[in-house]
Chains A and B, each alone.
Chain A
Amino acid sequence: MNSSHLNDFYRDAFQELGNIGSGNAATALSQLVGRTIDMSVPEVLLIPIEQVPDIVGDMEKTVAGIYLEVYGDVPSKILVTFPHENLLSLTDLMMNQPIGTGSMLDEIKLSALKELGTILSGAYLNAMSKFLDLRMIPSVPALAIDSFTAVLNTILAELSQENQCALLLRTEIMETENKISGSFFLIPEKDALETIISAIQKASGVVNVGEN
């Protein structure tokens, strides 16, 4: 899969995968913070890596980026981002404190953010791996608080060593009461794409789908 072309069947299938994964992740987050969590319809992008920053956008926004790698049958990368201005409210919610309690991001809060990345990824991957009957194991999380573009570009540079195009599954999650939002990206690597596609074929009973 080297072209930026993805036919409608697979686009829909990837979107559904994103739905299954992020639905489970949103539920996990909702249970963790005891609030209602909304999520967007997952967005599926298959584009040359160099074009990703312009399309995914929000260049100069400062975020907490939690990065995990996925091992097993579907080697992928996961990036979860939360806007910098939301971090204290978010960690307050996680620690079951009234919003506004936390005044600075100390070690405990940073580690809570990493843990949040692990919980969301775990829930996402669990649902997806059950659906596809594939093994997906997340690595330990790494955290950077920096500009969104710098965080994203670093992952893209790593990805570009073996891929020309990036498939991105993006879902936005929102806690409406305190206007806390986050983005979840699943980025399968080149080999993983083919594995996912044949697993989708198996799961949906489709033998062969034309390239149009």
Chain B
Amino acid sequence: MLFKKRPGWLTLERIKVGMADWKLAQNQDTLVTFGLGSCVGLGLLDEKTKSAAMAHIMLPDSKQLRFRQETSPAKFADTAIMIMLKTFEKMGISKQRLKAKIVGGANMFIIARSTATRGNFNVGQRNVAAVKEQLEQTGIPLVGEDTGGSVGRSVEFFAKNGIMRVRTALAGERDI
């Protein structure tokens, strides 16, 4: 962000959410993230205050790693939801007011290999399942979804109305 917003000013901001990152936006602001392949974009929205948050999640579970990572909590489904909820709470927005939308989790490449030795390559599918499980546990309703398949997606998430605009390279765009 180059300058601070002042209340009453008409400012339209596009806030970029990088890989393993998450960001907040309000009112006229738009959250954008590019290149969701197997990654999942999780958007949370409070309609009353027009507050939105979006995370670009790479992996399903922070506890399954074989090594310690010093990294952003938004990298994993479990820790991403936790940090987002904590921030909403600080803003006085309880999780009962939130709604969720998810995008991504594609299986871009299908490679033959022994699943016994290397686990399941389909990170996308596991990411979607993990995010849904976290939403269920926290009781946040999932109101929109565009997941799976084999296409990459980019997302714009509008804080003012909670619409997620999903773009693909060759398969057009749709709103959820």
B90 to chain A, nearest CB (A): 24
Interface residues of chain B: helix, strand, loop or mixed (majority): loop
- Which of B38, B65, B66, B67 meets A154, CB within 8 Å? B38
A72 to chain B, nearest CB (A): 14
Chain B interface size band reads: 35 or more
Judged by a CB distance under 8 angstroms, whether A148 is at the interface is: yes
Q: Is the CB of A160 within 8 A of B58?
A: yes
Set of chain A residues within 8 Å of B108, measured between Cβ atoms? 65, 144, 146, 150-151, 154
Judged by a CB distance under 8 angstroms, whether B125 is at the interface is: no
Q: Is the CB of B36 within 8 A of A150?
A: yes
Of A9-17, A29-37, A53-61, the segment with at least 4 beta carbons within 8 Å of chain B is A53-61
Of B133-141, B145-153, B158-166, the segment with at least 4 beta carbons within 8 Å of chain A is B145-153
Known: A50-B20, A59-B34. A150 touches B111 (CB 8 A): no
Q: Is the CB of B113 within 8 A of A147?
A: no
- Which of B20, B152, B170 meets A149, CB within 8 Å? B152
Q: Is the CB of B75 within 8 A of A147?
A: no
Known: A50-B18, A142-B109. A147 touches B67 (CB 8 A): no
Q: Across the two chains, which residue of chain B brings its CB closest to A63? A: B169
B59 to chain A, nearest CB (A): 6
Q: Is the CB of A156 within 8 A of B58?
A: yes
Judged by a CB distance under 8 angstroms, whether B123 is at the interface is: yes
Known: A54-B18, A148-B35. A142 touches B59 (CB 8 A): no
Judged by a CB distance under 8 angstroms, whether B39 is at the interface is: yes
B50 to chain A, nearest CB (A): 27
Known: A147-B152, A157-B59. A62 touches B37 (CB 8 A): no
Set of chain B residues within 8 Å of A84, measured between Cβ atoms? 169
Interface residues in A125-155 by Cβ distance below 8 A to B read: 139-140, 142-155
| Assembled-state Cα–Cα distance A61/B154 (Å) | 12
Known: A156-B19, A161-B65, A162-B67. A151 touches B37 (CB 8 A): yes
| Assembled-state Cα–Cα distance A48/B20 (Å) | 11
Known: A151-B108, A161-B59. A146 touches B18 (CB 8 A): no
Q: Is the CB of B59 within 8 A of A152?
A: no
| Assembled-state Cα–Cα distance A62/B19 (Å) | 19
A18 to chain B, nearest CB (A): 23
| Assembled-state Cα–Cα distance A143/B108 (Å) | 8
Give 5 A-B contacts (CB < 8 Å), ordered by A residue: A49-B20, A50-B20, A149-B152, A153-B36, A154-B108
What residues of chain A have their CB less than 8 Å away from a CB belonging to chain B? 48-50, 52-54, 59-60, 62, 65, 67, 69, 84, 139-140, 142-158, 160-162, 164
Instruction: List the 9 closest pairs (A to B, CB-CB), nearest first.
Output: A150-B152, A149-B35, A154-B37, A142-B109, A150-B37, A146-B152, A150-B35, A50-B20, A62-B169
